[in-house]
Amino acid sequence: MDQHSIAAIQTLILLGSHHVYHGRPNLSFAVLGATIKVSHGMGLHRILSSESSGDVEERKRIWWTICTWDKMQSTGRSGASFGLAFAVVFGFLSQEAYDQKTSSLITMANFDWHAERTDLSGIALLDRAPESDGIDLKQVRLYRQARLREQMEKYGVDAIILSDPVNIRYATGTRNMQVFSMRNAPSRYLLLSAKRSILFEFTGCSHLADGYETVDEVRAANTASFVAAGPKIEEREKAWALEMGELISQIIEKPATKIVVGLERLNANTAIQLHDFGFKIVDAQRPLEMARAIKSSEEVKCVVASLRATEIAVAKLREAIRPGLTENELWSVLHKSVIEQNGDYCETRLLSAGSRTNPWFQETASYKIRPNDLVALDTDVVGCHGYYSDFSRTFHAGPDPPSEKQKELYRVTHNMGILKPGMTFREYAEQAWDIPAKYYKNRYYLSAHGCGLTGEYPYLYHHGDFPDAGYDGVIEPGMVICVESYIGEDGGTEGVKLEQQVLVTETGIQLLSEFPFESSLLD
């Protein structure tokens, strides 16, 4: 078989897949079926079984591409697979491997990727993975929605409209293009009241909410953005507000002037139009943040699952550190491992080395790590189940032992410890460690912060910052708190970033982040 023959088979495969994508299954079946028979007639299977033939791997890839497409199509029409079945006959695959292969392909084929569906009630299970073992995700979703409704009632909010995808995920458990949705609000949004949960989903994506007990109804979103509407943006915003206003009035069953509606991340004109309905408009952030602050025991399991996956990723990153590697190359090790373990994404680019560790907040770049540099990292990972895995570590690149100056910076930051349930935010600020004067200017802007699906309420400030920036509240059991510190002299050559993630319990705190500190820097 020459290269022209191989190219012909590849072309036929592409043609068949093209017909699948454009909704022409009959043509696809005909083309792919013919491709398999042609490749068989050309002796592809005999060439594959020959040890001496060249380009075996390329031909094997072609054969398996044919088999895969054939299996997906034959499963969809309840027929037998010519290509995959003959893989056993030709000796390319054991019967056991064949059974496993067909099982996975049947699962894939049962999803209709291009059509609106109403029969995908099990799609919520897509969030299940090995890290889900032992976690009742249904209980997580129900707790979070009930918690939010409880806070809405507490603060007198009848309905809220959410467009932040993280908040939609908190309220329902649904996920769809989370990063895209953040910068394209409102491309999907949620109307939540005491009795109703209506998700307005992005065009073509309504099936993603099927099977979620936290969503009563799914409707198509009416994206009110300039990109979607162009110069007709004001008309689109007016239509959007009219639809939502009428729906809210139907659901709440009060005079409009008596209805309190919480909003977040919406166009100014849509908020103005809703106000013109007579609604009292308030910020939805307060009930949201107060709800998210207290985690259930099942939520904590999600947090721990996310942390364990991120710790595996950080271990791989630490192992990869060597002089000559760029920050970007090193940071990619973390991201790759997070994605492989079913995490979502890294929210920031906070990995820096050498002189770029001082001051902090220098985004990961093409700087090449030098011998004996410090390498500082803040994970900021939106990981498994969307939960934030947020701890910081500083490593030493070697090959020599750390300098005394590097050890001093590291030891100064190795301090955690006064958090306890019932403590007020003011009390925390008063009792917190006073940062030495030479490090004060470059201090981290917070002493600690809440953590859940992202960084969240509360912010706990340093003693010196509390009078201007701080606010009071109470540290409560069920809060997950990240205690952080950055130490680097103003004008210094390097700095150290450390952070720990803890759970506030009824009696104290429980350390959740388990990645070890560097013994060579603590010694």
| Arithmetic mean of pLDDT over the chain | 83
CA atoms within 13 A on the CB side of 104: 8
Percent of the chain having pLDDT more than 70?
74
pLDDT over 80 (residue 114) = no
Query: Among candidates 372, 378, 371, which has minimal Cα distance to 352?
Result: 378
pTM for the full predicted model:
0.75
Query: Among candidates 502, 501, 504, which has minimal Cα distance to 477?
Result: 504
Q: What is the DSSP letter of 42?
A: T
pLDDT digits over 13-50, tens only? Answer: 666 655 544 555 556 556 666 666 666 666 655 554 45
Instruction: Name the more confident of 179 and 30.
Output: 179
- Collapsing DSSP states into helix, strand and coil, what is residue 496? strand
Instruction: Name the more confident of 139 and 82.
Output: 139
Alpha helices per DSSP H over 232-326: 233-252, 268-276, 285-293, 297-320
Per-residue pLDDT band for 119 (boundaries 50, 70, 90) equals: very low
Q: Give CA–CA dist 341/130, Å, rounded.
A: 9
What is the predicted pLDDT for the residue at 227?
86
pLDDT over 80 (residue 407) = yes
Per-residue pLDDT band for 433 (boundaries 50, 70, 90) equals: confident
pLDDT over 50 (residue 256) = yes
What is the predicted pLDDT for the residue at 504?
96
Query: In this structure, which amino acid lies at residue 166?
Result: V
- Residues in CB range of 120: below 8 A, 6 or more apart: 111, 207, 210, 211
Residue 478 Ramachandran class (φ > 0 left, ψ -120 to 50 alpha, else beta): left
Handedness of CA 467, 471, 477, 483 (dihedral sign): negative
- Collapsing DSSP states into helix, strand and coil, what is residue 115? coil
Q: Give CA–CA dist 384/377, Å, rounded.
A: 19
In DSSP terms, 396 is beta-bridged to 374
pLDDT digits over 292-349, tens only? Answer: 999 999 999 999 999 999 999 999 999 999 999 999 999 999 999 999 999 999 999 9
Element (H, E) at 448: strand 448-451
Element (H, E) at 26: helix 25-41
For the chain, domain boundaries? 3-109, 125-292, 297-522
- Is it true that the peptide bond before 186 is cis, omega within 30 degrees of 0? yes
pLDDT over 60 (residue 75) = no
195 alpha carbon, distance to own chain's centre:
28
- Residues in CB range of 102: below 8 A, 6 or more apart: 71, 81, 84
Query: In this structure, which amino acid lies at residue 245?
Result: G
Q: Which CATH architecture has domain 125-292?
A: 3-Layer(aba) Sandwich (3.40)
Region 116-144: mean pLDDT is 66
pLDDT over 50 (residue 517) = yes
pLDDT over 50 (residue 106) = no
Instruction: Name the more confident of 416 and 365.
Output: 365
Region 446-463: mean pLDDT is 96
User: What CATH class does 297-522 carry?
Assistant: alpha beta
Q: Angle, to 10 degrees, between the axis of helix 137-154 and the axis of helix 297-320? A: 120
Handedness of CA 325, 327, 329, 333 (dihedral sign): positive
Region 55-60: mean pLDDT is 55
Region 43-63: mean pLDDT is 53
pLDDT digits over 470-511, tens only? Answer: 999 999 999 999 999 999 999 999 999 999 999 999 999 999
What is the predicted pLDDT for the residue at 55?
56
127 alpha carbon, distance to own chain's centre:
11
Q: What is the DSSP letter of 364?
A: -
